[in-house]
Structure 1
Amino acid sequence: MTDTATTTTTSLNKFEKFKAEKDGLAVKGEIEKFAALGWEAMDETDRDHRLKWVGVFFRPVTPGKFMMRMRLPNGILTSSQMRALAGVVQRYGDDGNADITTRQNIQLRGIRIEDLPDIFNRFHAVGLTSVQSGMDNIRNITGDPVAGLDADELYDTREVVQQIQDMLTNKGEGNPEFTNLPRKFNIAIAGGRDNSVHAEINDLAFVPAFKEGTGDWGLGTGEESSQSPIFGFNVLVGGFFSAKRCEAAIPLNAWVSPEDVVAVCRAVLEVYRDHGLRANRQKSRLMWLIDEWGLEKFRQEVENRLGKSLLPAAAKDEIDWEKRDHIGVYKQKQSEFNYVGLHIPVGRLYAEDMFEIARLAEVYGSGEIRFTVEQNIIIPNIPDSRLATFLTEPLLERFSIDPGLLTRSLVSCTGSQFCNFALIETKNRALGIIKALEAELILTANVRIHWTGCPNSCGQPQVADIGLMGTKTRKNGKAVEGVDIYMGGKVGKDAHLGTCVIKGIPCEDLQPFLQNLLIEHFGAKPRQEALVTHWSVDHN
């Protein structure tokens, strides 16, 4: 490494100091010791920070009960893996549950430190890992949720996503090469035409594109190989959300073949690791480095690490469909097979749900389960002959294949129930308000409403039709929970971020506000001709 290796200890912020003292991955060998000590006797830096390198998160709002974040490349797991996760959650009774995340991943709640050795053994037995899933590491790598199933896909993302995971984590054992980034890092690979991975909000994203003309595209030698358009990816860099700044990813002006995706990931990460800004945590994401250097210098440094020139981007990418949510029943490319998307309200699962999903995947499908970035579940490979019976299963009454038009697109972060960063409660409130709005209104199209409990934007309000960001506000002279309202986010083709249009709406006033917003901007109609209080986005 270059820049970080020469930085003096006195100039480091507290996070860089404790990383310099001891690599976070070192705690992987200390789990037995921590279990024997108990959480209260642990070194605070190990407990509060370094445990995140193995996917274990101390939560002050639930002292003694930790959150655990997995790594599920492309959001795919097996029924045996789901059963192992369910068994862990089941152990913790009322405190045990799991949340599907907006990165096709899952987080478990209620974990006790003394149970970590047994939990890690259970995970190892079924091929699960949580390594490098928190702090200054690469987050779960997202890919197309219907990869290998969709007859219209351009590229099956599953194998390359797994290859990136294996490279970054040493096949789940931990890789010190990538355990000390300046901040977290998100990678996404789109394989279809509808941008199912929300490429624009990732630090590094690959979107499908055909390169016209001639040339050996994999090697960049310029040797003539074909007159036909060649499939590959245009590269986007720098997208991120933070409390200080939110930016959409920008084109790197680079096109890469599928065979070069892993090498390009490595090159970009090495440049970011060695040169990313580390003095100020608020300015440590990749886009800040690109701002400081300029895009051309950044691209040149990536080429230096890659050992060859990058070809210019294809003239256009192939993201030309509106975003699909994959809820419902769909034919697969495999004849006489179907995949079924189940809506999981705000992504919350309990042990009995998880066991039942595993059973359904085995009885009706191939034992495979997939997560989407909308916090929902897909069960693939259900034969035509079994589909009708599958659709009568009682679980589908709660996890619907045809939810209401507001419920269908609802996304929420964890909220203050479990997260100490959240300023408001989100999941239960979101469900209650949406249920009331659907009872009051008739809608003709989906409206994507995203909730996030704080400016860290885990619930991604900037990509929603209506985004709600938790805040503290005042009403009648008293501090109350409130939200800032974002509008205008677009996903799929021509994706872009929304902006804040009004600040500080008290949560207790939110339902009538949203009702009028839906009527004025999204064509909703009241179910009854009742007087509706007139709020609007320019209300003060």
Structure 2
Amino acid sequence: MPPRQRRRGEGQWALGYREPLNKNEEGKKNDDGLNVRRRILDIYSKSGFDSIDPADLRGRFRWYGIYTQRRPGIDGGKTAVLEDEELDDRYFMLRVRIDGGRLNAAQLRAIADVSSKYARGTADVTDRQNIQLHWIEIESVPAIWETLEAVGLTTTEACGDTPRVIIGCPLAGIAADEVIDATPQLQEIHDRYIGSPEFSNLPRKFKTALSGCTAQCTVHEINDIAFVGVVNDEGEAGYDLWVGGGLSTNPMFAKRLGAFVRPEQAPEVWAGVTGIFRDYGYRRLRSRARLKFLMNDWGPERFREVLEKEYLGYRLPDGPAPGGPRDARRDHVGIHRQRDGAYYVGFAPRVGRVNGDLLHVIADLAEEYGSGRVCTTTEQKMVILDVPEERTEALAAELEAHDLQVRPSVFRRQTMACTGIEYCKLAIVETKQRGMDLIEELEKRLPDFDEPLSINLNGCPNSCARVQVADIGLKGQLVTDADGNQVEGYQIHLGGTVGGAFGKKIRGLKTTADELPDYVERVLRRYQDQRNDGESFADWVQRAEQEDLT
């Protein structure tokens, strides 16, 4: 039976309601976002910023990874007050799409060249394996695209109401203990569907994870759709299907559908789930236009039924659930053996911040010590692959000479930060520099702290840096200091874990930015004093007295 109907006011296409219910939907109906490329090439790049149609500038540009960045000098208190045109700078953020995090030296050099020539040297590795650049002028975009596309890179659907970058394990195909190499399926989904009008008008963004990694580095629990490597009772390697995860202001973990997906089925299953989102997703309110809300209303059983009956035309077999991640750190930092006997070397920039010159250095080192392959990770880190064992320490020394730590402190290893007020129009507070300063302070104050601990800083409530699933999640907001002044600060979430529980919010628990190092030091020392043998920070938070968390 078809799913019971919701009221037509949700704007679900499958229920026959096609009239746009908000400005974003109207813009997409008027013109597919993919069509803006031609106008950028033929009109805007030649006539300049003032020639750009506002519907393209603040809407369709995102279909090619382009956002206006925040005008300098606007404080966080004005973020929600000013109109877009008052917040907009005449420069852009550009997001380079890196599916699976996979790069070769030529591709990394191309990004480095773009950074140095067109982006004032800026570059940030994101927690979705992309690289973001800033200070881009519209006149430079055609040359940037030409540079990137010459080496097989793109910005297509890096943003917008589209299937965004497909995250994957950076060790796919080489990890000694991986369940399945997801590279063929990831590539097929990308080649068949990315940039296709079939899925270029979704209700909102759509995030995909596809991996057979035993570290579960793609954090499948917080993606719209995730394929998690498993082995069924017959010994076949395939995927367990998860749907409907996401954070932001209404965090929800993805739900297992209980279905086993064979590798050759993954692309059409992906298309089926994406089709459900396109057709049944809520388009009335942007705040409810993510797949997690549909999943929350339907439940996994009904979702699976619609997928199989309306979109696949066959039933998927039941399958096993994946086990948990192999350890508390879902990353690939350090020196580790590959299945072929070579080694990979994972290293940690500070909160993902690099630059054009540094990217050139990394590309050179990847060629000198390995095969030229280098990957980004979902933790704002990077990995050089295919290094002979006897050369790993020399590579580690070279990286560390450039402040790219192979054996970082826990604070360098597990602190992430979003873009923040430096460039983002949604942000309220600074994050990147604050995160770097916090790392430095904690390394001085707690030099022997070595328990797994994630600290995530976000500049606004949207949780690009996953504050709800961090041990210490810091959500930017304005707070009142001891003198009664409104200053930058953070609401604190404690004890979050991916797939476990969202961070605990204690009423009134906030800190100013200046007091942040003192707060973190204080709560970590209490944890050290009170924890039981083997007890994680998240577990301690659940039983700690409230006064010990403040």
TM-score greater than 0.5 by the shorter chain: yes
Kept in 2: contact 1:472–1:482 (CA 8 A): yes
Q: Say which of 329, 332, 337 aligns to 2:335.
A: 329
- Coordinate RMSD, CA, aligned: 2.1
Q: Which digits, 9 at most, give the CA deviation of each residue in 1:192-238, with x for residues without a partner?
A: 222111110101111222222xxxxxxxxxxxxxxx33222211111
Query: Matches of 1:53 and 1:430 in 2, distance apart?
Result: 30
The residue aligned with 2:420 is 415
Shift of 1:39: 1.2
Aligned partners of 2:352, 2:96: CA distance in 1, in Å?
15
**CA–CA separation in structure 1 for the residues paired with 2:39 and 2:530:** 56
Instruction: Specify the alignment match of 2:91 in structure 1.
Output: 65
Distance 2:520 2:393 in 1: 38
- 2:111 equivalent to 1:90: no
The code of the aligned residue for 1:468 comes to L
Find out whether 1:39 has 2:54 as its counterpart. Answer: no
Provide the rounded CA distance (Å) in 2 between the counterparts of 1:144 and 1:436.
Answer: 31
State whether structure 2 residue 43 is matched by structure 1 residue 18.
no
Residue 348 of structure 1, CA deviation? 0.8
Equivalent AA in structure 1 for residue 188 of structure 2: Q
Aligned partners of 1:278 and 1:257: how far apart in 2? 32
How many pairs does the alignment contain? 505
Whole-Å Cα distance in 1 between the matches of residues 489 and 473 of structure 2?
13
- The CA deviation at 1:339 is 0.6
- SS across alignment from 1:508: coil
Contact 1:472 1:504 survives alignment (8 Å): no
The answer as to 2:522 corresponding to 1:520 is no
Q: Distance in 1 between matches of 2:199 and 2:414?
A: 35
Farther off after superposition, 346-355 or 395-404: 395-404
2:273 corresponds in structure 1 to 268
Partner of 1:200: 221
Partner of residue 202, structure 2: 181
Q: Deviations over 1:471-495 (max 9, x none)?
A: 112223221111111112224xx64
**Aligned amino acid, residue 319 of structure 2:** A
- Which residues of 2 match residues 140-179 of structure 1 at below 5 A? 140-169=165-194, 174-179=195-200
- Match of 1:242? 248
Identical aligned pairs, as a percentage? 35
Decide whether the 8 Å contact of 1:516 with 1:536 is kept in 2.
no
2:510 corresponds to 1:485: no
Letter aligned with residue 478 of structure 1 = N
SS of the residue aligned with 1:513? helix
Paired AA for residue 230 in structure 1 = E
84, 105, 108: which one pairs with 2:133? 108
Partner of 2:351: 346
Tell me if structure 2 keeps the 8 A contact 1:69–1:108. yes
1:485 maps to a residue whose letter is I
Task: Show the counterpart of 2:102.
Answer: 76
Alpha carbons of structure 1 residues 285 and 537: separation in structure 2 relative to 1, 3 Å:
farther
Q: Counterpart of 1:501 in structure 2: which amino acid?
A: I
Partner of 2:17: 7
Partner AA of 1:387 in structure 2: T
Does residue 1:123 correspond to 2:148, yes or no?
yes
Q: For residues 121-150 of structure 1, what are the alpha-carbon distances to aligned partners after superposition, in whole Å with 9 as ceiling and x for unaligned?
A: 111111101101112011211111211221
1:387 lines up with 2:408 in the alignment: no
Kindly provide the amino acid, as one letter, of the partner of residue 412 in structure 1. A
Provide the TM-score with structure 2 as the length reference: 0.88
- Are 1:505 and 2:521 matched, yes or no? no
Question: Unpaired segments of 5 or more residues in structure 1?
Answer: 213-227, 526-533
Aligned position for 2:316? 310
SS at match of 2:477: strand
Q: Residue in 1 aligned with 2:63?
A: 53
User: How far apart are residue 535 of structure 1 and its match?
Assistant: 9.8
The answer on whether the counterparts of 1:92 and 1:111 sit within 8 Å (CA) in structure 2 is: yes
User: Equivalent residue of 1:398, what SS?
Assistant: coil
Deviations 1:330-389, CA, capped at 9 Å, x for gaps? 111112x11101111110111110111111111111111101111111000111343343
**TM-score relative to the length of structure 1:** 0.89
Q: Secondary structure at the match of 1:234?
A: strand
The CA deviation at 1:522 is 4.5
Q: Rate the CA distance shift 1:401–1:409 in 2: closer, same or farther, 3 A.
A: same
Larger deviation, residues 392-401 vs 482-491: 392-401
2:160 aligns to what SS in structure 1? coil
Q: Structure 2 residue aligned with 1:233, among 239, 254, 265?
A: 239
Matched, 1:284 2:289: yes
Conservation of the 8 A alpha-carbon contact between 1:208 and 1:318: no
Question: What secondary structure does 1:504 align onto?
Answer: strand
CA distance in 1: counterparts of 2:530 and 2:356, whole angstroms? 37
SS at the partner of 1:470? Answer: strand
C-alpha change, 1:440 and 1:294, in structure 2 (3 Å) is closer
Partner of 2:5: none
1:209 corresponds to which of 203, 225, 230:
230
Separation of aligned partners in 2, 1:122 and 1:478: 48
Take 1:516 and 1:472, find their aligned partners in 2: how far apart are those partners?
22
Deviation at 1:109, TM superposition (A): 1.2
- Offset at 1:8? 5.3
Q: CA deviation at 1:298?
A: 1.8
Q: Distance in 1 between matches of 2:383 and 2:549?
A: 40
Instruction: Determine the C-alpha separation between the residues in 1 that align with 2:264 and 2:244.
Output: 22
* Matched-pair contact (CA < 8 Å) for 2:399–2:405: no
